């Protein structure tokens, strides 16, 4: 057993009492393990009908695999420090950190009680009127304010150093850019999709482009990314959006975060083709998803361009022509990384409920084939799709 792991509920309660003032001394606190993520342990500590907090603890391995996949505990420091930094620029959209403790590799943070995991909300076809706006603003503000356009040169490099995150980056380097493009033992492939996966492994044109995206992920320290911005890292109500879980944070290409969000909306679009329920309702929902992608990109690019124009400190980066070129690069990276997310969630290690809830393997394979095809097109055509309208046209054509 790992030395620092909480021994029992009483240890978790004592930890919370030591570091918060939220509970009365005589409150009868209850601990529930609520984590359904791949990597860590997450608990809710609550007073019945009263206050509550979340405790997240990292152990030196991947939760779903066990001690056979070791992982640095530094990830929980990175998560705590990212949440604090994100709060400086986008506080409305992140949970508040109450306490971080290095020795226990644990964070105490705000309980998002009434919020629902976005992946579940999307599968339930729950329309969220502010989601696209919130995510667009969250990304524009966190990414701009941690880039060289805003930070002074020394500050930026000090931050890059603070957020060196080799273990978690290696997971992404392997799961996004390596495994799905070869017959890797970590892959999980629905049998009817096997031929389509094998075709991908032979697709040299695609593999060159994926190598380019991987190289960008490895080398382009543009801004502090969330680094794992999929639907499971977002919690929602009709009025509120919270982005959690930035343990994969590091300085990388801005389009990786934007592409992850768009890729996940597109995964739901693919899954809804064969998910349960009325066909017309599913089609309406899929149209709604495309409208959200459109809104999200507009919100992100409008705010990011505005921040570049108004708040860029470095004189040479104030040039409007260069700023326009920067947006084009972010756009093509966004498309490419969205494509890699679609592919890795379909045949790689970490699948998503948007597709997995389709019980019939043959029907699921139809949606998965759509995700593979779309992912491939986005990667190959990322420099030839010039607008969000062109992107949405390409997506709609998949239905024909």
Q: Compare residues 62 and 363 and give the one whose CB is closer to ligand SR1.
A: 62
- What residues make contact with ligand SR1 under the rule CB under 6 A? 38-39, 62, 171, 175, 228, 230, 350
Contact between 227 and Mg ion by CB under 5 A: the answer reads no
Exposed/middle/buried for residue 28 (C-beta within 10 Å: 0-12, 13-18, 19+): exposed
Contact 343, 352 (CB under 8 A): no
Going by C-alpha positions, the residue among 296, 231, 214, 226 that lies closest to residue 254 is 226
Backbone angles phi, psi at 15, to 5 degrees: -60, -45
Shortest distance, position 42 Cβ to ligand SR1, whole Å: 13
**Distance of alpha carbon 364 from alpha carbon 362, whole angstroms:** 5
246 vs 336 by CB, closer to ligand SR1: 246
Closest contact distance (angstroms) between CB of 74 and ligand SR1 is 16
210 binds, among ligand SR1, Mg ion, none (CB under 5 to 8 A by kind): none
Site membership for Mg ion, residue 354 (CB under 5 A) = no
Min dist CB 220 to ligand SR1, Å, is 19
Q: How far is the CB of 183 from Mg ion (least distance, A)?
A: 27
> Closest residue (Cβ) to Mg ion?
245
Q: What is the layout of strands, in order, in the sheet containing 41-46? A: 30-33, 41-46, 52-57, 106-110, 97-101
Among ligand SR1, Mg ion, none, partner that 160 touches (CB below 5 to 8 angstroms by kind): none
Tokens 């966190």 belong to residue: 142
Among 245, 274, 299, 368, the residue binding Mg ion under the rule CB under 5 A is 245
Q: For residue 95, what is the DSSP state?
A: P
Region binding Mg ion by CB under 5 A among candidate stretches 162-170, 216-224, 239-247, 310-318: 239-247
Contact region with Mg ion (CB under 5 A), list: 36-44, 300-308, 312-320, 340-348: 36-44
Kind and range of the H or E run holding 69: strand 66-70
Closest CB to Mg ion among residues 216, 234: 234
Q: Where are the alpha helices (DSSP H) in the chain?
A: 9-19, 74-90, 118-123, 131-145, 153-162, 166-177, 194-201, 204-219, 254-271, 279-311, 320-347, 353-356, 361-380, 388-397
In the list 23, 37, 105, 303, the residue contacting Mg ion (rule: CB under 5 A) is: 37
Options 31-39, 139-147, 377-385, 390-398: segment touching Mg ion (CB under 5 A) = 31-39
Binding site for Mg ion (CB under 5 A): 37, 245
């Amino acid at each position: 057993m790992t030395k620092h792991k909480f021994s029992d509920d009483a240890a978790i309660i004592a930890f919370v009492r030591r570091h918060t003032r939220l509970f009365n001394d005589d409150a009868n606190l209850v601990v529930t393990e609520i984590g359904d993520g791949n990597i860590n342990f997450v608990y809710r500590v609550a007073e019945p009908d009263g206050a509550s907090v979340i405790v997240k603890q990292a152990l030196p391995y991947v939760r779903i695999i066990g001690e056979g996949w070791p992982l640095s505990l530094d990830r929980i420091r990175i998560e705590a420090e990212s949440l604090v930094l994100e709060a400086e620029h986008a506080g409305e959209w992140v949970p508040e950190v109450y306490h971080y403790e290095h020795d226990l590799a644990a964070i105490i943070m705000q309980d998002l009680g009434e919020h629902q995991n976005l992946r579940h909300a999307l599968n339930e076809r729950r329309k969220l009127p502010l989601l696209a706006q919130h995510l667009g603003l969250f990304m524009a503000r966190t990414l701009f304010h941690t880039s060289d356009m805003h930070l002074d040169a020394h500050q930026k490099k000090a931050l890059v150093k603070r957020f060196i995150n080799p273990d978690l980056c290696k997971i992404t380097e392997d799961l996004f850019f390596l495994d799905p493009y070869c017959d890797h033992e970590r892959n999980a492939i629905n049998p009817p999709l096997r031929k389509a996966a094998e075709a991908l492994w032979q697709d040299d044109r695609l593999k060159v482009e994926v190598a380019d995206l991987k190289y960008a992920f490895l080398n382009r320290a543009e801004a502090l990314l969330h680094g794992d911005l999929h639907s499971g890292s977002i919690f929602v109500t009709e009025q509120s959006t919270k982005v959690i879980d930035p343990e994969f944070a590091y300085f990388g290409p801005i389009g990786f975060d934007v592409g992850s969000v768009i890729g996940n909306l597109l995964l739901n679009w693919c899954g809804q083709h064969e998910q349960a329920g009325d066909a017309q309702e599913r089609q309406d929902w899929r149209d709604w998803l495309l409208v959200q992608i459109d809104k999200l990109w507009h919100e992100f690019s409008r705010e990011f361009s505005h921040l570049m124009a108004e708040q860029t400190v470095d004189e040479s980066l104030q040039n409007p022509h260069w700023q326009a070129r920067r947006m084009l690069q972010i756009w093509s990276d966004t498309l490419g990384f969205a494509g890699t997310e679609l592919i890795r969630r379909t045949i790689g290690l970490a699948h998503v409920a948007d597709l997995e809830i389709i019980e019939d393997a043959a029907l699921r394979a139809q949606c998965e084939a759509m995700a593979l095809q779309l992912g491939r097109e986005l990667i190959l055509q990322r420099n030839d799709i010039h607008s969000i309208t062109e992107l949405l046209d390409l997506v709609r054509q998949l239905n024909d």
